[in-house]
Structure 1
Amino acid sequence: STGTFYLLRPNRFRWDYETPNEQEIVADGSRIYVHDKELNQVTHSSQKKILDGTPAQLLASEQPVEDYFRLSNRDEGDGRTWVELVPKTEDTEIVKLRIAFNDGKLDNLLMEDRFGQLTRFIFTDLKRNPQLDYAMFRFQRPAGSDFLQVD
């Protein structure tokens, strides 16, 4: 998948996926909304419940990362600085994260779930501290969409 990720700390983010399927994910500080544009369907849940032990919690929270994860340095031999994070919460979908920095910039994030599936996020064209409008992080329900609460 490809798309754009916006982050406004604390606790607000937005992912606009472009391919293969258009989707937007909006976290407004209390709820997360996932809009599948092809299905014209929105699901929404408690943000705290969904984020525990995930990379989004790591990026969006103001709390120290050590509050949520056990950290260790890793040497992958590729010239990047790697950190491994294991969630302190036992009942999360994610069992391990590995984050790579290249020249001090976020480069890769590897996420392993409890089924052994590995998801890789590759970050490109990073812009630090852009001016973002809070309105970007307010979900607007599309007319005629199915609207499903899942908590």
Structure 2
Amino acid sequence: MRLLFLLFALVASAAHAGGVDRLKAFIAGARTAQADFVQTVSDKNGRITQQASGQMAFARPGKFRWDYNAPYEQVIVGDGAKLWLYDVDLDQVTVKPLGEVIAGTPAALLAGDNAIEKYFSLKNAGESDGLEWLDATPKNRDTTFERIRMGFKGDALVQMELFDQFGQHTTLKLTHFVRNPSIAPSRFKFTPPKGADVIGE
């Protein structure tokens, strides 16, 4: 099954600070962002089960878009009220209320409102692999994610690691990140293609 959760990684602006301070600086300063991403999913035995790549963009709070280009085409859009998931191969659109979907996920952590510590327990996690790490644990135990790690290099968040209740480990690496670009509002709107099967609305 393809990973359909929303993964967002951005830049924080605090220099010489721990991961928690960097995240808080990001939330205070980054209203929009865009980047390329590579996503790798491993099972509980460490075997790679999924690899995908594409582009992402967001406008806080609650608006985002992920375009998966390879090895399959898929579009995920949050318009501030609803989540739209379009599977190009199946010509199928799934729509859900946004609030029910993103609680306890990286979307809530990075593209949500400023009350992040209401939803996550945050702690600095030291340095490894040349990165400075932050651990975020969802306070809502209903979420699929057990823990989210964010790795900073300098003032940039360049990697995230996600651990779910099924033993899967997802690594997300970002490149060509742009902070606070001008993004057309239409990018965060989605209209189901004519003839597509729409589920949930």
Percent of aligned pairs sharing the same letter: 38
Map 1:41-120 to 2 at 5 A. Answer: 41-120=92-171
The structure whose RCO (Cα within 8 Å, separation 6+) is larger is 2
Output the amino acid matched with 1:66: E
Distance in structure 1 (CA, Å) of the matches to 2:114 and 2:155? 21
Deviations 1:58-90 (A, max 9, x none): 111122321110011112432311000000001
Residues matched between the structures, number: 150
RMSD of the alignment, in Å?
A: 1.1
Distance in structure 1 (CA, Å) of the matches to 2:156 and 2:114? 20
Q: TM-score, normalised by structure 2?
A: 0.72
Deviations 1:109-147 (A, max 9, x none): 111111111111101110000000111111111000000
Q: Which runs of 5+ in 2 are unaligned?
A: 1-51
Distance in structure 2 (CA, Å) of the matches to 1:104 and 1:120? 20
Query: Match of 2:69, SS?
Result: strand
Distance in structure 2 (CA, Å) of the matches to 1:78 and 1:36? 35
Which residue of 1 is the match for residue 49 of structure 2? Answer: none
Q: TM-score, normalised by structure 1?
A: 0.96
Which moved further from structure 2: 56-65 or 119-128?
56-65
Structure 1 stretches of 4+ moved >3 Å: none
Distance in structure 1 (CA, Å) of the matches to 2:199 and 2:60? 26
